[in-house]
């Protein structure tokens, strides 16, 4: 009742006053009891001893009642009936009074019952609370069927889905990552207008050019080489457009010059189909590089055919989705089955800053387990991780998923502290 009052917003002064009134009422009732039973009590011989008896019984009974309240909060099945609750609430006071009854067998029986109640209290408080896994899953918007775990030597899971002992269910990062190599790519962008008043080495600059400033050199063939760290390259006219061919520092100047001299309209295959804005996409022939269309900005991006050194971290991600309606080859540039339920996929997203990824998808009943990473991540590692992935256990899910937020009363907090102390023994 006190816990309910505190939770309901009763002021501390009101709680103290109620406690004082209740204690006085209990003490008065006990004085009436000892007055009527003083002949059978070892403390009934005088008024002073009877007051002492009442104080002892009230103190001992209150301690027993408090322990009973903690047990009741942990296992409420005992006290669904208000009458039963009232009767059981008086048991601790009766046992405390029995300790002072004449006759050793009564006192010994009371001591035995008190010990039994203390043992029962410890057992109940040491027990884990009722299974809250379903509540954790719901609170974190997680499906049990799509919760998988895997451990990969040399990798550690992120904190978002860390199941412990190296097991994880989302992103993984190397424990000792290698330095990421510098990016290596070429971009070709098109503009239909010039930036007013801007030029390098006498050459007007295209609007929104990546090479709008920096150093420049006029080459014997008439091309203007532009160096605007961290990019360098050329701007050349093409039909009615101004085309900028730019590369990262790891791309050679000779390769960029050759690309600028080999410009041609992008084909439908290079653009992923016929487009109304096809004129904004210009392609080039760059040996050892493969091109793909980009949307922001519109243009083409060329990456090395062997892109294992072209950027992207060495981490990987595991994702589990329901298989129905999930076409694993839809966004793949390569989709190659390697068994009845195992498929290698290679994916690339639109946009120059999105690295190409690859990995494996394995079918597990109603779900697909996908393990993918940048091209720098070893293909064999990704394959083994996909094959080793398994459903997460209940204990692993409890470790990874925080419990739902709830309001704790003072009794709740006391019970949890007692549980922690008792479980440590």
pLDDT in tens, 296-327: 677 899 988 766 554 556 789 999 999 988 88
52, with CB counted inside 10 A (0-12, 13-18, 19+), is middle
Residue 161 has pLDDT above 70, yes or no: yes
Q: Which two tokens stand for residue 332?
A: 């793949």
For 285, other C-beta atoms within 10 Å of its C-beta total 13
What value does the mean pLDDT of the chain take?
Answer: 81
51, with CB counted inside 10 A (0-12, 13-18, 19+), is middle
pLDDT band at 400 (very low <50, low <70, confident <90, very high): confident
Residue 77 has pLDDT above 60, yes or no: no
> Which residue is listed with tokens 């406690």?
19
Which DSSP symbol is given to 328?
T
pLDDT at res. 335: 93
pTM higher than the cut 0.85: no
Residue 352 has pLDDT above 50, yes or no: no
Instruction: Give the chain's domains with CATH numbers.
Output: 2-126 (no CATH), 144-179+312-400 (3.40.1000), 186-308 (no CATH)
pLDDT at res. 354: 58
Helices assigned H by DSSP within 37-74: 47-74
Cα→Cα distances 361→157, 163, 315, Å: 19, 22, 17
Selection from 299, 305, 300 nearest residue 333 by Cα: 305
* Close Cβ partners of 157 (under 8 Å, ≥ 6 residues apart): 163, 166, 167, 168, 169, 170, 171, 172
- Cross-strand pairs, 169: none
Residue 274 has pLDDT above 80, yes or no: no
Residue 59, Cα to own-chain centre: how many angstroms?
Answer: 48
Cα→Cα distances 346→92, 152, 230, Å: 71, 21, 29
pLDDT at res. 290: 85
pLDDT in tens, 86-127: 556 677 888 888 888 888 888 888 888 888 877 877 776 666
Percent of all residues in the chain with a pLDDT value above 70, rounded to a whole number: 79
Q: Can you tell me the distance from the alpha carbon of 374 to that of 172, in angstroms, rounded to the nearest whole number?
A: 12
* Close Cβ partners of 73 (under 8 Å, ≥ 6 residues apart): 411, 412, 415
pLDDT in tens, 181-236: 788 899 999 998 999 999 999 999 999 999 999 999 999 999 999 999 999 999 99
């Amino acid at each position: 009742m006190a816990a309910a009052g505190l939770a309901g917003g009763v002021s501390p002064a009101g709680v103290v006053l109620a406690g004082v009134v209740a204690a006085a009422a209990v003490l008065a009732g006990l004085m009436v009891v000892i007055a009527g039973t003083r002949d059978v009590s070892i403390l009934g011989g005088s008024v002073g001893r009877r007051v002492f008896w009442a104080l002892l019984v009230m103190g001992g009974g209150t301690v027993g009642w408090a322990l009973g309240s903690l047990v009741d909060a942990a296992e409420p099945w005992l006290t669904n009936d208000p009458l039963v609750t009232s009767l059981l609430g008086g048991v601790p006071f009766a046992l405390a009074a029995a300790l002072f009854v004449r006759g050793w067998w009564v006192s010994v029986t009371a001591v035995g019952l008190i010990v039994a109640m203390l043992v029962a209290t410890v057992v109940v408080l040491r027990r884990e609370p009722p299974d809250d896994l379903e509540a954790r899953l719901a609170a974190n918007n997680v499906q049990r069927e799509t919760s998988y775990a895997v451990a990969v030597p040399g990798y550690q899971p992120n904190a978002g889905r860390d199941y412990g002992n190296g097991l994880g269910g989302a992103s993984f990062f190397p424990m000792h990552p290698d330095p990421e190599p510098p990016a290596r790519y070429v971009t070709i962008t098109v503009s239909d207008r010039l930036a007013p008043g801007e030029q390098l080495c006498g050459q007007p600059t295209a609007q929104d050019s990546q090479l709008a400033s920096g150093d420049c050199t006029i080459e014997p063939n008439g091309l203007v080489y532009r160096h605007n760290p961290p990019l360098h390259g050329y701007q050349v006219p093409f039909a009615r457009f101004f085309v900028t061919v730019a590369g990262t520092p790891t791309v050679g100047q000779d390769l960029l010059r050759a690309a600028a001299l080999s410009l041609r309209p992008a084909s439908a295959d290079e653009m992923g189909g016929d487009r109304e804005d096809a004129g904004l996409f210009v392609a080039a022939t760059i040996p050892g590089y493969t091109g793909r269309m980009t949307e922001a900005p519109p243009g083409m991006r060329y990456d090395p055919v062997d892109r294992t050194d072209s950027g992207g971290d060495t981490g990987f991600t595991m994702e589990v989705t329901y298989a129905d309606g999930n076409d694993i080859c839809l966004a793949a540039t390569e989709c190659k089955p390697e068994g009845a339920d195992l498929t290698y996929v290679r994916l690339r997203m639109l946009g120059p800053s999105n690295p190409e990824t690859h990995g494996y998808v394995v079918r597990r009943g109603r779900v697909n387990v996908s393990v993918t990473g940048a091209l720098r991540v070893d293909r064999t590692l990704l394959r083994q991780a996909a094959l080793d992935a398994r459903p997460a256990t209940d204990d692993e899910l409890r470790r990874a998923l925080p419990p739902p937020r709830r309001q704790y009363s003072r009794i709740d907090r006391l019970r949890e502290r007692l549980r922690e102390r008792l479980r440590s023994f």
